Amino acid sequence: MGELYADVIVDISHEKLDKTFQYRVPDKLRQTLETGMCVEVPFGSGNKPIHGYVMELGDVCKFDPARMKCIREIVPGGVGVEGKMIALAGWIRKNYGATMIQALKTVLPAKKSVKKLEHKTIRRRLGREEVISLLGESKRKRQVAKERLLQELVDQETLPYEWVTGKLGVSSQTVKSLEKTGVIQIISTQSFRNPVRMESVEEKRQELSEAQQRIVREVLADFDGGKPATYLLHGITGSGKTEVYMRLIEEITQRGRQAIVLIPEIALTYQTLLRFYRRFGDSVSVLNSTLSQGEKYDQCQRAKNGEINVIIGPRSALFTPFPNIGLIVIDEEHEGSYKSEATPKYHARETALEVARLHGASVLLGSATPSLEAFYRARTGEYKLFQLKERLTGGSLPTVYTVDLRQELKEGNRSIFSRKLQELLDDRLKKGEQSILFLNRRGYSGFMSCRSCGHVMKCPHCDVSLSEHKNGMLLCHYCGYGEPRPKLCPVCGSRYISGFRAGTQQIEEKLKEMFPQVRTLRMDADTTKSKDSYEQILSAFSNREADVLIGTQMIVKGHDFPRVTLVGVLAADLSLSVGDYRAGERTFQLLTQAVGRAGRGNLPGEAVIQTYQPDHYAVVRAADQDYEAFYKEEILYREMLGYPPVSHMMAVQVFSKEEERGAALADRLSASARRTCFGGEEGGRFFDVQIIGPASASIGRINDIFRFVFYVKCPEYGKLVNIKDLLEEEMQRQPSGEDSVQFDFDPMNTL
């Protein structure tokens, strides 16, 4: 038996995490030592005993074997917060595929030398009454940004400068002009500060409804009884979910524990944050992408030191190094942004469960349209299910009309607006009410469909749509199946067979042709490039600076617009036809959210769904706003074809600078996986595994790197992990360091 060596990292707060030292593993530890464990090692010339963490184990000695020191012992339980973070990194590495260093970098904030940051604070110089009178004036003058700032200054004597120019969307010029006129004063301080700091203005706590109370009681009873669990709270927008989160956070923090609240970045609007600040004041902090590395590190230190006990943020806030977490809330748990796009491709939902296990915390997932994963687990009893069925803010569900676009074409309407939508738009413009036009382009990837009969070209093997490629071929991105692009529809013979290519800009133009007086705002990837433009467009629309807001999926999240009484969905099935097993789920979620935008206020709402597939269950159920009916049909499809959550799936992506070498590597790895599962003496051990591909990835080449992919499906996640381990080992034996492999478990998109 050869020697075993361990790479040990002794200072995990070091900026360069890759600095490791190699030690020999003594025989007595060979069986027990695993990556991620905390060990005691002799360090430096004096052999001072210090603690370190095992990053990798291997049989290659990288230094002079005669001078190599030995690990002394395993430190039981690791040490405090850091031990938990390392254990978490180990879990991520194992379950998602990555090196230990990559996993560590995911969970630990990079230590950046935090310079004394200059922090500016805005302080009001006038009394409350004077501010209120100025506020009235700027309202009359429609000075929207100024109005927002003054509104905040009514209750707050000081506001953080970054917050005002950031989330509040007030330009620095506006701030300066208010300083000039003596309304405010800008104060600079040098300090480590909470990026958002506010005096808590006791927000009035709502008396919880009976249904809300029941949830709070049950979660707390489990927690106090030492049996924290995972809960799914299914409730439409406005049903009081956030109020439940806040009450639970209050209770949990009173018990000396900390809480993490995950909210998708796009929904982290200042209204949402304000609600939390008002309730929890200085003990809450926010983590988001606009913070600098230094500020992020600073936040982590504050969390470690117990200066804050609630953090709100997107996916990465999950790695806040709190000493003793009691509750993790994941709002809008169905959101795709909870899955990391970079290796390790972890999912925040699954990872939250592991964090909770390490700390003994409860996990509360909330959504109006739960992911199939979460609802499936609630059904199987793995999660406990709560439902809130009533909207507390009033307003009724909108009336929905589904328009068959094939019929429109047949009756001579070639416009992108159906006659029903034209009629209702006209009506709203006359009444001075607002409308939203939603272009569903999510995941759009050049599928082909017939405009006469709605037929979509699909793969005969995978039941997903084929994608159009430049070379005139239609390809399946799962299995590589291909066929030439047809000139006529194979079902009805029509010439109108093509992809759908309208963008938000064309829609805006067409709308203006039809209604020359219309005032529009557009929200898409182009108009929201600059920081804060997203919030600025939303507030301009809130302030009635436009009649119609046109946009992509961004507009269906967050924000309430009480004056919107009409929502038009221009091509509901665009997202239905992407070559992806989650297409139905995503379409249902988007349509449900879009339709739900209409009629939030006192006025009743209407929605028009334009589609080529009016009978598709995702469209029908969204029009009815009936989640459970949708779930029942969707889960049948997943069961039948063995897709998550019923089964599990691992995408193995191969990257190479040379096409042939990449293809050969993908062949070799998939063959090796097949051998392990079905061949050899132990053949049949993995009889329930299915291997599909390899094929060229949907985008076959990016930056001159060729990409290949194959899929491994199996009902047991653990077996996929086994196969991943084997492929990782095989990659280490690869001669060329230029090719690489990435793993994606239960992928969100076709790769």
729: tokens are 């080992």
Smallest distance, ligand ADP to C-beta of residue 338, A:
17
- From the list 299, 301, 324, the residue with the least C-alpha distance to 311 is 299
The nearer residue to Zn ion, 481 or 678, going by C-beta atoms, is 481
Select from 219-227, 483-491, 538-546, 681-689 the region that touches Zn ion (CB under 5 A): 483-491
Q: Which one of ligand ADP, Zn ion, none is in contact with 489 (Cβ closer than 5 to 8 A by kind)? A: Zn ion
Asked if 175 and 184 touch (Cβ cutoff 8 Å), the reply is yes
Q: Is 409 in the site for Zn ion (CB under 5 A)?
A: no
395 in contact with ligand ADP (CB under 6 A):
no
Closest approach, Cβ 481 to Zn ion, in A, equals 4
Dist CA 590 CA 369 (whole Å): 9
Q: Exposed, middle or buried by CB within 10 Å (0-12, 13-18, 19+), for 1?
A: exposed
Please tell me the count of residues contacting ligand ADP according to CB under 6 A.
15
Question: Which region, judged by CB under 5 A, interacts with Zn ion, from 23-31, 357-365, 450-458, 660-668?
Answer: 450-458
Residue 208, interface with ligand ADP (CB under 6 A)?
yes
370 forms part of the interface with ligand ADP (CB under 6 A) = no
Q: Does 213 bind ligand ADP (CB under 6 A)?
A: no
Q: How far is the CB of 274 from ligand ADP (least distance, A)?
A: 12
Q: How far is the CB of 449 from Zn ion (least distance, A)?
A: 8
Minimum CB distance to ligand ADP, residue 620 (Å)? 25
What tokens appear for 589 in the block? Answer: 């979620």
Measured distance CA(731)–CA(741) in Å, rounded: 8
Minimum CB distance to Zn ion smaller for 450 or for 620: 450
453 binds Zn ion (CB under 5 A): yes
- Going by C-beta distance under 8 Å and a sequence separation of 6 or more, which residues neighbour residue 53? 8, 9, 12, 36, 37, 38, 39, 78, 86
| Strand pairing category for 648-656 and 705-714 | antiparallel
Task: Give me the 243-272 binding string for ligand ADP, x by CB under 6 A, dash otherwise.
Answer: x-----------------------------
Span of 100-108, 122-130, 479-487, 607-615 interacting with Zn ion by CB under 5 A:
479-487
Q: How far apart are CA 653 and CA 665, in angstroms?
A: 10
User: With binding defined as CB under 6 A, does residue 332 bind ligand ADP?
Assistant: no
221 φ, ψ to 5°?
Answer: -60, -45
Taking the complex as a whole, the smallest distance from the CB of residue 87 to ligand ADP amounts, in Å, to: 33
Could you give the dihedral angle defined by the CA atoms of residues 318, 236, 269 and 217, in that order, rounded to the nearest 10 degrees?
A: -50
Determine if 393 is a binding residue for ligand ADP (CB under 6 A). yes
> Which one, 375 or 708, has the nearer CB to Zn ion?
708
The nearer residue to Zn ion, 366 or 693, going by C-beta atoms, is: 693
Peptide bond into 344 cis (omega under 30): yes
Residue from the set 491, 540, 603, 731 that interacts with Zn ion by CB under 5 A: 491
Please report how close the Cβ of residue 288 comes to ligand ADP at its closest, in angstroms: 19
Q: Is residue 351 close enough to count as binding ligand ADP by CB under 6 A?
A: no
Provide, rounded to whole angstroms, the least separation between the CB of residue 277 and ligand ADP.
15
CA atoms within 13 A on the CB side of 259: 25
Using DSSP bridges, classify how beta strands 310-313 and 258-262 pair: parallel, antiparallel or unpaired. parallel
Question: Residue 242, interface with ligand ADP (CB under 6 A)?
Answer: yes
Phi and psi torsions of 106, nearest 5°: -70, -40
Among positions 450, 590, 608, 723, the unique one binding Zn ion when judged by CB under 5 A: 450
Q: Across the strands, what pairs with 692?
A: 711
Q: Which listed option, ligand ADP, Zn ion, none, makes contact with residue 610 (CB within 5 to 8 Å by class)? A: none
Q: Which of 156, 209, 324, 494 binds Zn ion (CB under 5 A)?
A: 494
Q: What is the dihedral of CA 232, 238, 244, 249, to 10 degrees?
A: 100
Task: Please tell me the distance from the alpha carbon of residue 548 to that of residue 176, in angstroms, as a whole number.
Answer: 32
For ligand ADP, the closer of residues 209 and 413 by Cβ is 209
The CA distance from 283 to 272, in Å, is 16
Q: Is residue 187 within the footprint of ligand ADP (CB under 6 A)?
A: no
How far is C-alpha 455 from the chain's CA centre?
32
DSSP string, 333-369: TT-GGGB-SSSS--BHHHHHHHHHHHHT-EEEEEESS
Closest approach of ligand ADP to the CB of residue 242, in Å = 3
Which residues form the interface with ligand ADP (CB under 6 A)? 206-209, 212, 235, 237-243, 392-393
Which residues form the interface with Zn ion (CB under 5 A)? 450, 452-453, 455, 459, 461-462, 476, 478-479, 481, 489, 491-492, 494
